[in-house]
Amino acid sequence: MEWIRFHCDNMCGIIGVIDRRRQLMDGSKIKEALASMDERGSGEGAGYVAYGIYPDYKEYYALHVFFDNIREHKVPLDNLLEKWGTIVHDEQIKTYEQPGLRKVHTPWRYFFRPDPNMMPKSTTPEEDIITHLVMKVNSERNGALIFSSGKNLGVFKAAGWPEDVANFYRIQDYQGYLWLAHNRYPTNTSGWWGGAHPFNLLNWSVVHNGEITSYGTNRRYIESYGYKCTMYTDTEVVAYLVDLLVRKHGLSEKMAVRALAPPFWEEIDRMPPKEQELNRAIRLTYGPALMNGPFAICVANENSLVGFTDRIKLRPLVSGESGDRLFISSEEAAIRRIDPDVEHITMPRAGEPIVGKVYS
Partner 1 sequence: MSIGSTPLKFKVRIDPERCMNCGRCIENCSYGVYRKEGDDIRINSRNCVACHRCLAFCPRDAIDIEEKPGDYRSHPVWTREVREAVFNQAKTGKIILSGMGNAKPYPIIFDRLVLDACQVTNPSIDPLREPMELRTYLGKKPSSLSLRQMPNGDVELLTKLTPNLQIETPIMIGHMSYGAISLNAQTALAKAVSKIGTFMGTGEGGLHESLYPYQNHMIVQVASGRFGVDINYLERGAAIEIKIGQGAKPGIGGHLPGEKVCADVSCTRMIPEGSDAISPAPHHDIYSIEDLKQLVHSLKEATEWKKPVFVKIAAVHNSAAIAAGIARSGADAVVVDGFRGGSGATPRVFRDHVGIPVEAAVASVDAKLRQQGIRNEVSIIASGGIRESADVAKIICLGADAVYIGTSALVAMGCRVCGTCYRGTCAWGIATQKPELVARLDPETNAVQVENLINGWTLELAELMGAAGINSIESLRGNRDRLRGYMLDEGLLNVLDVKTVGA
Rule CB under 8 A: is residue 290 a binding residue for partner 1? yes
Number of C-beta neighbours around residue 222 at 10 A: 22
Task: Name which position in 292, 303, 339, 358 contacts partner 1 (CB under 8 A).
Answer: 292
Task: Name which position in 27, 45, 195, 294 contacts partner 1 (CB under 8 A).
Answer: 294
At how many degrees (to 10) do helices 162-169 and 28-35 cross?
160
Number of C-beta neighbours around residue 322 at 10 A: 16
Q: Judged by CB under 8 A, how many residues of this single chain contact partner 1?
A: 48
Distance CA 267, CA 318 (A): 23
At how many degrees (to 10) do helices 70-84 and 125-140 cross?
150
Tell me how far, at minimum, the Cβ of 269 lies from partner 1, in Å: 10
3-state secondary structure of 193: helix
Identify which of residues 143 and 316 has a Cβ nearer to partner 1 in the complex. 316
Those residues with Cβ within 8 angstroms of residue 296's Cβ, 6 or more apart along the chain or in another chain: 14, 208, 209, 210, 307, 308, 309, 310, 315, 316, 317, 330
Tell me how far, at minimum, the Cβ of 228 lies from partner 1, in Å: 13
Site string for partner 1, 180-209 (x = CB under 8 A): -------x----------------------
AA letter at 309: T
Rounded CA Rg of the chain = 19
Tell me how far, at minimum, the Cβ of 277 lies from partner 1, in Å: 6
Task: Name which position in 285, 346, 347, 357 contacts partner 1 (CB under 8 A).
Answer: 285
Rule CB under 8 A: is residue 215 a binding residue for partner 1? yes
Tell me how far, at minimum, the Cβ of 241 lies from partner 1, in Å: 13
Distance CA 107, CA 66 (A): 5
Distance CA 330, CA 41 (A): 12
User: Please, how many CA atoms are within 13 Å of residue 332, restricted to the half-sphere of its CB?
Assistant: 10
Rule CB under 8 A: is residue 7 a binding residue for partner 1? yes
Rule CB under 8 A: is residue 2 a binding residue for partner 1? no
Those residues with Cβ within 8 angstroms of residue 60's Cβ, 6 or more apart along the chain or in another chain: 88, 89, 111, 112, 113, 151
Residue 229's closest CA among 105, 114, 131?
Answer: 131
Task: Name which position in 79, 117, 123, 224 contacts partner 1 (CB under 8 A).
Answer: 224
Q: Pick the stretch among 6-14, 65-73, 89-97, 158-166 that binds partner 1 (CB under 8 A).
A: 6-14
Identify which of residues 106 and 217 has a Cβ nearer to partner 1 in the complex. 217
Task: Name which position in 241, 282, 318, 328 contacts partner 1 (CB under 8 A).
Answer: 282
Number of C-beta neighbours around residue 209 at 10 A: 29
Rule CB under 8 A: is residue 211 a binding residue for partner 1? yes
3-state secondary structure of 267: helix
Identify which of residues 80 and 350 has a Cβ nearer to partner 1 in the complex. 350
Rule CB under 8 A: is residue 284 a binding residue for partner 1? yes
List C-alpha distances in Å: 74 to 71, 82, 154. Answer: 6, 12, 19
Rule CB under 8 A: is residue 316 a binding residue for partner 1? no
Q: Strand 295-300 and strand 304-309: pairing? A: antiparallel
Rule CB under 8 A: is residue 217 a binding residue for partner 1? yes
Phi, psi of 60, deg, nearest 5: -110, 155
Does residue 298 carry a catalytic annotation? Answer: no
Rule CB under 8 A: is residue 10 a binding residue for partner 1? yes
Q: Pick the stretch among 40-48, 164-172, 176-184, 292-300 that binds partner 1 (CB under 8 A).
A: 292-300
List binders of partner 1 among 236-265 (CB under 8 A).
Answer: 248-252, 255, 264-265
Binding site for partner 1 (CB under 8 A): 1, 3, 7, 9-10, 187, 210-211, 213-217, 219-221, 223-225, 248-252, 255, 264-266, 274, 277-278, 280-288, 290-294, 311-312, 314
Give the catalytic positions in this structure. Answer: 12
